[in-house]
Structure 1
């Protein structure tokens, strides 16, 4: 969120406790679009704040830490709870810390990438691996979000191979 809205990365950034939000305004085909991006802390204790962050949301980005398999597993419960609040929002599955993920064993990378593919298929979601520190796929997350929200043509090459910063957004690639 901070990388996208302010184009900065702070290695000392503390994880969100509760709710935070930021805004960014962009212009698309001479139309001003204002993103209001809500960040809900990933601990299940914050799930009671879901209505605040999901009611009326056009899209919901489900983020997990690529270096912590459990954070992907925890998304199952978050996804169920979010869908109870908002059944129509476009889901995006985003793996973070891709730069650190590359330091993990090849076996770990392979297993987590395959599991991520399975989750994205079950969620009918795009799958994107990102790195805020190295500026990998951050802008593309929001380009995909806009293309899906406004039914716009997007011509980004998809990356599907293990070891690449995964970028899958075309419906025929996921379903």
Structure 2
């Protein structure tokens, strides 16, 4: 199934012309594909997050992504069928030539790092630079994985990583979410926020800002 970019947010007016696909009250059901790219260093949990969201399962046995993984999940919102087309790039540098496959036509790109390994956060700068070379319009998100391990770190380390992640997210104009696939923390919320951002819909997920908590920041970015 070919990926398509999200339509520009519509202005709902009294005339009823050009209704937004998610707000259309016609009986005909719309279908939209939302392509989501996932990039970041190896062994940070990209594949685990994708599998957890699509299949609802978590496998502790790490299977290294060689090249690109691809999965789809279809949901219904109002009268629209939405298929998330999720593309996961292996984190080894030899796969960087496949970056266009993951980034081209993506509606959103998740720049991911392991909250328990600060070096993977520092790598985000280069991933962001390269990905933006192929797609300047995708909605960026900075996603910190393995929050369950992060929560056991000393408070000063948590504070340092959280501050740096917030700085990076601000510079990227990106939403920021800390998640845990193993503990099922914020996995579903990431994709709900993507949907809201892609189609300019109101999102009622509360933001979380405090150090040591599973951060969620997406408003005014």
Taking structure 2 as the reference length, the TM-score comes to: 0.76
Is 1:107 the counterpart of 2:107 in the alignment? no
Paired residue secondary structure (1:72): helix
Q: Which sections of structure 2, spanning at least 5 residues, go unmatched? A: 1-49
Task: Render the CA deviation track for 1:120-164: whole Å, top value 9, x for unaligned.
Answer: 000000000000011000000000100000000001110000010
Paired residue secondary structure (1:49): helix
CA distance in 1, matches of 2:217, 2:170: 11
Is 1:65 the counterpart of 2:114 in the alignment? yes
CA distance in 1, matches of 2:93, 2:218: 28
Q: Name the structure, 1 or 2, with higher relative contact order (CA <8 Å, separation 6+).
A: 2
- Pick the structure with greater CA Rg: 2
Task: Render the CA deviation track for 1:77-117: whole Å, top value 9, x for unaligned.
Answer: 00000000000000011000000101111111000000000
Is 1:90 the counterpart of 2:142 in the alignment? no
Aligned length: 172
Q: Which runs of 4+ in 1 moved over 3 A?
A: none
Of 18-27 and 42-51, more deviation after overlay is shown by 42-51
Taking structure 1 as the reference length, the TM-score comes to: 0.96
